[in-house]
Chain A
Amino acid sequence: MTDSPSLAVEGVSVAYSNGLLALQNATFHLDSGTICALVGVNGSGKSTLFKSIMGFVKPKTGTVRINQLPVREVLKQHLVAYVPQAEEVDWQFPVSVWDVAMMGRYGAMNFLRIPRAADKRIVEESLRRVSMWEFRDRQIGELSGGQKKRVFLARALAQGGKIILLDEPFTGVDVKTEEAIITLLHELRAAGCIILVSTHNLGSVPEFCDQVVLINRTVLAYGPTSEVFTEQNLAATFGGVLRQFQFEHSTIQDHDGREVRILTDDERPLIFGKDGHLEYKNRGGREELLKQRSEEHE
Chain B
Amino acid sequence: MRDALYVGAMVATMCAVLSCFLILKGWSLMGDAISHAVLPGIVIAFLLGLPLAIGAFLSGLACAVSTGFIQQNSRIKEDTVMGVVFTGMFAFGLVLFSRTTSDMHLDHILVGNILGITTRQVWQTLGIGVVVIGVTLALRRDLFLICFDPGQARVLALSERFLNYLLLTLLATAIVVALQAVGIILVVAMLITPGSIAHLWTDRFDRMLLIAVSAAVSATVSGILISYHLDASTGACIVLVQSLWFILSLIFAPKYGLLRRFLSVRGWLDAHKKGPSAASSDPS
Binding site for B on A (CB under 8 A): 17, 54-56, 72, 75-76, 78, 80-82, 84, 88-90, 93-96, 99, 103-104, 106-107, 111-113, 139, 141-144, 146-147, 155, 159, 161, 174, 176-177
Contact = CB atoms under 8 A, between A and B. Distances in A.
B284 A174 contact: yes
B156 interface: yes
A175 to B, nearest CB: 10
B203 A139 contact: yes
A144 B283 contact: yes
B257 to A, nearest CB: 15
26 contacts: A17-B73, A56-B151, A75-B156, A75-B157, A76-B157, A78-B156, A78-B157, A84-B152, A89-B148, A93-B24, A93-B147, A94-B24, A94-B199, A94-B202, A94-B208, A103-B145, A104-B152, A106-B142, A106-B145, A106-B158, A107-B158, A112-B138, A141-B280, A144-B284, A146-B284, A174-B283
Give chain B's interface residue range (CB within 8 Å of chain A). Answer: 20 to 34
A146 B149 CA distance: 19
B104 interface: no
Contacts of B203: 94-96, 139
B1 to A, nearest CB: 36
B155 A81 contact: yes
Interface of A, secondary structure class, is mixed
A104 B151 CA distance: 12
Contact of A82 (B152, B199, B204, B282): B152
A269 to B, nearest CB: 23
Contacts of B199: 94
Contacts of A95: 144, 148, 203, 205
A139 B279 CA distance: 11
A75 B149 contact: no
A276 B171 CA distance: 61
Interface in B80-129: none
B276 to A, nearest CB: 6
Contact of A103 (B139, B149, B284): B149
B77 interface: no
A144 B113 CA distance: 51
Contacts of B202: 94
B275 to A, nearest CB: 11
B141 A113 contact: yes
Contacts of A54: 151, 154-155
B72 interface: yes
Nearest to B73: A17
B284 A147 contact: yes
Interface in B227-268: none
A17 B72 contact: yes
